[in-house]
Each structure stands twice: as structure tokens, then as C-alpha cells.
Structure 1
Amino acid sequence: MKGKHWFIALAVMFLATGAHAGGKAAVRKQMESSMVFTGMVDIEPDGHVSGYTLDRPGALPPVVQKVMDRATKTWTFEPPKADGKVVRARTAMSVRLVATRNAEDGTFAVRIASANFGRPAKEEFVVGKALTPPRYPKVAAMSHASGTVYVIVRVGRDGRVEDAMAEQVNLTVIDSENGMKRWRETLARAAVEGARSWTFDVPTRGEDVDAPFWLARVPVSFHVNNGPAAYGQWEAYIPGPRESAPWLGGMDASLGSDAVADGGIYPVGNYGPKLLTPLDGA
């Protein structure tokens, strides 16, 4: 019965969101609903997963455990090492579930869309020092054009942002295709302009302590009234295209790019254990 209630609630949410679409059928078809949750995963010396825990499990719908049980049974990581020796490891994880609606029968398919594994120690990666929230563009706020911008910043050795880019913009408003493009550009521009003034404390130890710069992903949310969805709650949105930047040097920064929660700073690069099998356990 709990599962049935979850599907009903999700369907109502989709219908309520689409009710204000004003005939924007093409855009509505792109709609997804998702949530980000966090926890820990236990990796054995041979790379297989022996268990996992979820943060605040009481706040999560039952489908989360169902999907995670299925996926973790098939996950295999590159064997974890410490001081050159293969060891058992417990590592942090951040996972994004996505639910998409089948237009033919109205059912929903739920899958793991992205995930991040591992988290550098505080002294081994940049830490926010002065991250003033970017200003919400007035025209967007007045039009209730809200969403989340995933910003990648390049932090120099002095802790200042040398460059910034909007990697992806997910909107929680429905407009025409041209309108969606305009709102993405508006929010992205505001997020990047704000990010250029940020400062960070740089690493004091670890393998990358002498790096010429560090890359970090920071989600920036622009929301009217209630703000982003609470932990464990589904949020409907229209995913935007993913962009890259020349200064990334051809790096594929897409892995786990949107499996990050608001208010965090997440490393971009070869951090954490490497998953060798399909993310969704297929």
C-alpha cells in the first residue's frame, strides 16, 4: 500500500505542475521528477558491495530502499586501497533518483540517474570561505522562473575563483522552448557572476595540495517562496542541456554532476572509488 500511495502522490504532483503549462506540450514531455539522498556504502577488498546505509531513512519514500537494494547487489568498484594495500572501505555516497512518466499508461519508471562516491577530507580540498549567494534576477523572480544552476568553479592557489561556468540549469517552470532557453541563460548568468566573487580556503595536505588549481561543483538554487524541495521529497523539473568549458581540458565532468545537494561544494575530478558496473544495477 505504501508503494501505491507513493505513485499516486507522484502522479498528482506531475498533474499539478502541468496544469499551468498553458499548452507547452513539447516542454512538458521533458519533465522529470527527482530527489537527491545521501548515505554510506561498504566496499569489500574485491570491490563488491556488502551493505549500505541511508541518511535520515525515515524521511525517504520506500521506493528508495527498493531501488538501492536492486542496484547495490550488482555494483562492483575498483578494489579500494590504502597505503598501497587493498582494504575494506566505507565511503560516502550521494545519489539522484529520477522518475519519468510513461505517456501511454501513466505509470512511472524510477531509476538511479547519477551518483557521487567518496568525499575528500576537509584539509584535502577547497572549503568555502566567502560564498555570497548570487542575486536572484528580478525579472526571473517576478515571473516565478525558478531552478537550480550547477556551477563549476576553478579555484586558484590564492583561494579566488579564476573562472566559472554554468554546467547545467534545471528549471521548475514551464514555458515555450524559447522561453525556457531565456530563463536558463538568465539564471546561469546570475549564478556565474555571483560565483566569480567567491573565495575558498585551499587544501593544506593530501595528494593535490600542490595543484595549480582545483575544480569544484556548487549547486546554486533560485526559488520563489518555499525554496527547493526538502530532503526526501520529489521535485518536478525540466532538465537542461549539459555544457562544458575549454578550461576543463577535455575532462569528462559529467559523472554525478547533478547528484549533489544544495549548499554543498563537491570536487570535480578523480576523487573517491570508481564504479565499474552500471549505476542502475541493470
Structure 2
Amino acid sequence: MHARTLAIMAARLETDFDMRSVLVSALLFFSVPATATSTKPGEIEQLMTLRVDGEIEVDKTGRVSSYQAETPLPEEFAAIVDKAVAGWTFHPPVLNGKPATARAKVRITLASRQEQDQHHVWVDDVSFPAQKVSEREGRVSVEVPASNYRVVESAPKPRYPTFAVGALVSLDARVDSSGRVIDAAATQCRVHAIQADMPVSRACKTLEREAIRAAKQWTLAYEGRDGGTADLRHVSINLQYAVPHLDVSSDHAPGVWRPESRTAYRDSPWQSENRIGVADVHSHGLPRAPVLDLRTGIIEEAL
């Protein structure tokens, strides 16, 4: 599907069932390791994504002791996901300086790309989502995922563009000890619905520019129980753009494959600093005790 003709209604996936069946068959008989190819800066990657929600428990050594998927999947596909998760390893969880068992909600995002009549499927993202702490009604919602921080209510909301779009823009915000945003950078733009006459690349530039403008006026408020914002330096923020008069959010429901056009992931200039939140494939820690931190090698792992 070409980026310039990705129409709003196309994102509703009238072929969900057929696509899911094809992918299950491809997974069952796939023998050549599949790897995700990196998207170059300025390019738009096109693929299919699927969310699988569940709950995971990790023992004191960092091994998965249990995993329970909450998203209904075809039996053969579910078995493949379960087997992959069982083999993951984490850095040993620690609570108050001591080894601890950790249990948390987990969201696995799978991605698929067709290459030479085969569907390559890999683990695109793993996150440990907390309840959204800041979301506003309307065309644009804001969330600081997996953290105890929220954007204060008085902060200006990003302006919705002049074209209809369903998208997610992830930001890295650099903040001071009081929670005030002192700089912001866009790390990725993901579009799953857009009016047919708007190129995705141009749309993403518009969305990112406006998101950064608004974010630089924000202050983050702390809602946790364990102190203030002394360690707050670096936070991931998601901005969700919804198509007016169309419930596009349902298209990203767990268990449903949907098309996605996205930019390459870009590190922010302050990437090495402490990070709070999970918004993209480069951030896997859970910033609450006990911390769950995946070892390397999981993202882009073929199924």
C-alpha cells in the first residue's frame, strides 16, 4: 500500500481475518530467520502490526516464571508467542536493594512485512504499560506511559492539523528537577489512517513540529508516593491523533492486525540520560519497583 494512497477507510482492515490466517500459516512453516530491516532517515516504512496484551512474572534470576496472554489469538499463533516469551531473560529484578519477583502487565507488539511471498514476523516492541495518567478527550490525547508523571491540565494541547489523520507521535522530553520541559525531540511518527491526498512523510513533519511546539510549554506533575522529581531528567511522551467522526482507536485493539506507515526511529540528543516511560522500541524498563528490564536481543527477534 503506497503511502500517498493510504486512505482512512483502508486502516479499518476489512481483510483482518484473511491477513491473520496468512500470517499464522507463514509462522508455522517459516524456516529462514526473519530480521527487521532498518528504515533510513527520511524514509517511510510500511508494515502490519499486532498488539498482544498479557501478564508476565519474572523470578529473582530474571527468568520468566509465568506468562498469560489476555488477547485472544488463533491457537497455533498463541503457542508461538507463548514459546517466544518463555525464552526471554530479564536483568534480575531488585526491590529495595534485594532480589525480588516481579509481576506486571506486558504489551507485545508484533510486526510483519511481506518479502518474496513470505511474511516475516518479528517482535517490534515490548512495554509494561501502566494506566494512562493523562489523557484528554478530543482529537489529540497525551499520555506519559508506564510512569507516575502526567502533563498538567493547564498545558496547551497540540493543534490538530488541517487534514484528517490517525497517528501516534512519540516524543523525548528533557525536563528539569521541577518537571518543566526544557527541550523536546520527536523520535518517531506512526500513521495508521490518513486522507488519501496527504503524503505520510509530509503529515509526519507537520505533526512532529506541532507536538514539539506544544511540549516545550509543558510541566510534568508527579503523582507517585515515593518522593518528588529529583531523578526526573528524561521522559517519553505519546501523542495520539484521532480521525474526526471515526473511531480509529478500535483499529489498534489487541489481536487485530492493521497497516502502519512510520518514520525511522531517531535518538534524541540526550538519549544517554535517565529515561522514564515507554514509548518506543528503544525503551524497555518499567520505572516502578521492582523494575523489569529486558536484556538485549528481544526487539527484532524473529518468530
Structure 1-normalised TM-score?
0.69
**Residue ranges of structure 1 left out of the alignment (5+ in a row):** 13-26, 261-265
Aligned Cα root-mean-square deviation (Å): 4.0
Residues 1:214 and 2:248 are matched in the alignment: no
For residue 238 of structure 1, the aligned residue among 245, 248, 261 is 261
For residue 129 of structure 1, the aligned residue among 148, 152, 159 is 152
Structure 2-normalised TM-score?
0.65
Structure-2 residue corresponding to 1:95 = 108
Q: CA deviation at 1:34?
A: 0.8
**What is the aligned length?**
245
Structure-1 residue corresponding to 2:248 = 227
Structure-2 residue corresponding to 1:30 = 45
Residues 1:75 and 2:95 are matched in the alignment: no
Structure-1 residue corresponding to 2:19 = 9
State the distance in 2 between where 1:199 and 1:270 align: 19
SS in 2 for 1:184: helix
Determine if contact 2:122/2:302 at 8 Å carries over to the other structure.
no
Q: CA deviation at 1:41?
A: 1.0
SS in 1 for 2:233: strand
Residues 1:115 and 2:131 are matched in the alignment: no
CA-to-aligned-CA distance 1:54-75 (integer Å, 9 cap, x gap) = 34x24x5657633421212211
Structure-2 residue corresponding to 1:166 = 186
SS in 1 for 2:158: coil
Determine if contact 1:40/1:93 at 8 Å carries over to the other structure.
yes
Moved beyond 6 Å, runs of 4+: 266-271
Q: CA deviation at 1:100?
A: 1.3
In terms of fraction of residues, the more helix-rich structure is: 1
1:125 to 1:64, Cα distance in 2 relative to 1, 3 A: farther
* Matching residue's letter, 2:65: S
Q: What percentage of residue pairs aligned between the two structures are identical?
A: 22
**Residue ranges of structure 2 left out of the alignment (5+ in a row):** 1-14, 23-41, 134-146
State the distance in 1 between where 2:60 and 2:285 align: 25
Q: CA deviation at 1:9?
A: 3.4
State the distance in 2 between where 1:162 and 1:188 align: 17
